[in-house]
Structure 1
Amino acid sequence: MKKHNDQVIDKLLSSVGRHNPAFKIWIIALLVIISIGCFAYYRQLRLGLVVTSMRDYTSWGIYISNFVFFVAVSLIGSLVSSILKLAKVKWSYPLTRISEIIAVAAIICAAVIIIVDMGRPDRFFNVIIYGRIQSPIIWDVLVIMTYLVISVLLLYLPMLPDIALCRDRLKHVAKWKQNLYRILALNWQNKPGQLNRLKKTSTILEIMVIPVAFAIHTITSWLFATTWRPGWDSTNLGPYFVSGAFMLGAAVIIVAMFFIRKSFKLEDFITNDHFDKMGKILVLLSLVYLYFNINEYLGPAFKMVGVEGEHITELFSGDYAAMYWLVQVPGLMLPILLMVFKRGRKPFNIMIISFFILMGAWFKRFLIVIPSLQHPYLPIQDVDESYLHYYPSWEEWAITFASFAGVLLIISLLLKLFPIIPIQEYIHHQDKSEDQSNEI
């Protein structure tokens, strides 16, 4: 048993200490994209928001679309690390750290993109200092900060035993890495008292993160629902946003599972069965989201009154019809039909399906934000043509790609610094399963 456990530990620690030229190229490529985004943001700071295509009508552009998208992605931490873990779904344990890393990276970039969206980022602290409890904006700021803290703790604390393993076993890595592991391990000795306190603390965090995760997306939906624009005046937006976020989170973890398994050769730990089970969860979440999609549009489509009617017409058959139906059919309905069959839940197949869901989810956030803003209830008279249409400028696209590169950079660095699979948890559950088999 001990020999087998040592082999498992060596296998899972190998990715941390291994030098990989392809990884360096990947990091350099991400840094180049981020550098271009930083230059675009420098231009935005120097010249003002006039370099973007945002005007009085479309005052929220793809920055807010990205914010809503990243907040949705971050909910994967509460889905896999908390809900499945608290339900004692044993097969999900190898996926917990991946989901926690994605959650932390996504919520960090969601917070950054809000700063980017501000014309005067130096005034950000005024939102906190002079925040008004009547405004959902201050609620959003507070809940994002809370969720970020809980997500970081939920990632870091259960990792302590594995960081201690890195400290004790990885003697060949660079000196700065050894010092990092020594500091972060917090003198962890794997004593029964430490394990007991860690278990209790982790359980508390797993319970805490669930209502905060629901709150973060519900409050984000209230930012829209409390703004008087067609398409947003709906009590359905809260559950609509939450269900869409869980669906998106499940799709993200499937794509991450595929590439991490392939890159780090983890076929023994992330198996085909994991893809099959995550595929079933994704089908269920997609069906729930499909219900809220129908519920969201059915009422306004029946009435077709005033500006609401114009908004629905533009989505169904107007300027945004192609994007709308691409989101609904290849981004939602077709994936559900394909994943119902076992063949559709094979690793490569479900990765491709999940990628289409991700693309559809991003464009869906674009459709939530942009068309509504272009149909105000009180239009401005004699406005310039640029007010009536919105096509993101190259600066907006550069910053958008940089934000995605930032998420991938954080994920890549954390995956390279720490074991991807929770080693101690994996060994504990393997030993427990073996003991139960021996008893039988």
Structure 2
Amino acid sequence: MNKVLQQEQLYRTKRGKALLGHTVNTSLKYKLWITFLLIIICIGGYAYYRQLKFGLIITAMRDYTSWGIYISNFVFFVAISLVGSLISSILKLNNNNWSRPLTRLSEIIAVAAIICAAVIIIVDMGRPDRFFYVIMHLRIQSPIIWDVIIISTYLVISLLLLYLSLLPDIALCRDRLTVIPKWKKWLYRTLSINWSNHPKQIEMHLKVTKILAITVLPVAFAIHTVTSWLFATTWRPGWDSTNLGPYFVSGAFMAGAAVIIVGMYLVRIHLKLKKYITELHFEKMGRLLVLLSLVYLYFNINEYLGPAFKMVGVEGEHITELFTGKYAPMYWFVQLVGLILPIFFLIFKPFRKPLPIFIISIFVVLGAWLKRFLIVIPSLQHPYLPIQDVDESYLHYIPTWEEWAITFSSFAWFLLIITVLIKLFPVIPILKEKLDSETIDKLNIFKNENS
């Protein structure tokens, strides 16, 4: 018994301090980071105010390019939101225990991304009140309503997965963190909903978590498949393809894996969690990123090779503009720097160390966003039935400062949500999800000792 108490005391002093310290201590670096994000958000808020006041005419979107970087952002955020299902569902159900320290970070990223994806769509609509028309006058024939339903479903499931994984640790914060503001104590007490690590609670918790982990898989595949249908069901060069569903899904998993690697590195450095997010995790994620990139490379070749062989009509013009035209520098940057070179470098073990893979993943994420830009914009500028005698500005799309400000603001919101959640809650799961009888006894002793 004394040995168990000593072990729990060690847990409280060393491991608890390492994993809970950031929730109590607020550094100057954290305050400056939050201030920086809020400044970007305020600039974006002013740009959005101008958009509400003057309408979408302040953007560069016209009758040709009716979707701009707002939709590129939407597709990007939807893509990286799949990281939650990749880490917390697929790897968890396969009993890959090495990924356990990454589950909460991936779930936080997924929640932040899907929230921003939903909001950016409302921004793109011009008038926010029109979102309610989509619900009030829904047409089941339209893929748009499918997208609304599947995104809402994925958001709810992602929130539940995150909350359930946090629940035991929120109770731990409630019991252990005493030198914190009253609002924080109230928050932990409210969210913990009387959790006491009782065996029946744990049993129910495991069942519900497993059900959600299974349920999120088809929803995760559906969310990007349905998003791809928004493109594929419109007759446009570059979109008129049956390949878009798996193409989008594979690209989403690759982008999501790169985002989690970037997040791992930053959390590991700034929260001093090298003991918990080890080089082994970067090694495993590096191999996973290579696998996902190879799958995406296959679909990428498949997507462009067919039209490139035919080079017929507007499809040929679209491919020519990507390969050798004004979008060629961006296209080849995406293919080479954002896809092929990362695969090549990550094959070698030295590049799967924390710093090299962090840098490589940044280029993968940048390539993923530029790829979404290339999916949206060039196709819209090559319609099968061009409008006659239009203004020259209709034929080109260069985002205005308002569009860029709102875009950067959406990324600032994404980072702010992640930062606040990491600040409030332990980013590494403290209590194991699978608790045997011995661990349950220890937890009960741990609770009784401090009651």
If the TM-score is normalised by the length of the shorter chain, which range does it land in? over 0.9
Q: Report 1:294-305 matches (<5 A).
A: 294-305=301-312
Task: Give 2:34's match in structure 1, choosing from 27, 40, 61.
Answer: 27
> 1:243-301 deviations in whole A, cap 9, x for unaligned?
00000000000000000000000000000000000000000000000000000000000
- Encode CA deviations 1:357-378: one digit per residue, 9 max, x unaligned: 0000000000000000000001
Q: TM-score normalized by structure 1?
A: 0.97
Q: Please state how far the C-alpha of 1:94 moved relative to its aligned partner.
A: 0.3
| Structure 2 letter corresponding to 1:339 | L
Cα distance, 1:428 vs structure 2: 5.5
Secondary structure in structure 1 of the residue aligned to 2:431: helix
- The match for 1:247 is 254
| DSSP-derived class of the 1:425 partner | coil
Equivalence for 2:423:
416
Equivalence for 1:312: 319
> What SS class does the counterpart of residue 423 from structure 1 fall into?
coil
Residue 292 of structure 1 aligns with an amino acid whose one-letter code is F
Work out whether residues 229 and 244 of structure 2, in 8 Å CA contact, stay in contact via their aligned partners in 1. yes
Asked if 2 retains the 8 angstrom alpha-carbon contact of 1:252 and 1:354, the reply is yes
Distance (whole Å) between structure 1 residues aligned to residue 315 and residue 417 of structure 2: 41
The residue that corresponds to 2:405 in the other structure is 398
- CA–CA separation in structure 2 for the residues paired with 1:51 and 1:19: 40
Structure 1 residue aligned with 2:360: 353
| 1:11 to partner: Cα distance | 1.8
Distance 2:87 2:434 in 1: 19
Report percent identity of matched pairs.
70
SS at match of 1:268: coil
Query: Aligned partners of 1:325 and 1:11: how far apart in 2?
Result: 44
**Cα displacement string for residues 27-76 of structure 1 (whole angstroms, at most 9, x for unaligned residues):** 01100100000100000010000000000000000000000000001000
Paired AA for residue 80 in structure 1 = I
Match of 1:277 in 2: 284
1:172 Cα deviation from its structure 2 partner = 0.2
| Structure 2 CA distance for aligned equivalents of residues 428 and 264 of structure 1 | 27
Alignment partner for residue 216 of structure 1, among 206, 212, 223? 223
Task: Report the counterpart of residue 260 of structure 1 in structure 2.
Answer: 267
Distance in 2 between the 1:426 and 1:15 partners? Answer: 22
Counterpart residue number, 1:340: 347
What's the CA shift for 1:323? 0.4
SS in 2 for 1:220: helix
Give the distance between the partners of 1:338 and 1:178, measured in 2 at CA.
Answer: 47
Aligned CA-pair RMSD: 1.2
Contact 1:94 1:426 survives alignment (8 Å): no
What's the counterpart of residue 443 of structure 2? Answer: none
Match 1:232 to one of 239, 254, 257: 239
Unaligned runs of 5+ residues in structure 2 are 1-6, 440-451
Task: Give the C-alpha shift of residue 5 in structure 1.
Answer: 2.7
Please say if residues 34 and 402 of structure 1, whose CA atoms lie closer than 8 Å, have aligned partners that are also in contact. yes
Contact 1:230 1:311 survives alignment (8 Å): yes
Question: Is it true that 1:88 corresponds to 2:95 in the alignment?
Answer: yes
Deviation at residue 238 of structure 1 after TM alignment: 0.1
TM-score with structure 2 length normalisation? 0.94
CA separation in 2, counterparts of 1:313 and 1:210? Answer: 37
Contact 2:224 2:245 in 1 (8 A): yes
Structure 1 runs (4+) deviating above 2 angstroms are 1-7, 426-429
C-alpha contact 1:93 1:426 (8 A) present in aligned 2: no
Question: Equivalent of 2:196, from 170, 189, 196?
Answer: 189
Name the counterpart of 1:58: 65
- Give the Cα–Cα distance (whole angstroms) in 1 for the partners of residues 25 and 345 of structure 2: 38
Separation of aligned partners in 2, 1:195 and 1:228: 52
Partner of residue 36, structure 1: 43
**What residue in structure 2 maps to residue 438 of structure 1?**
none
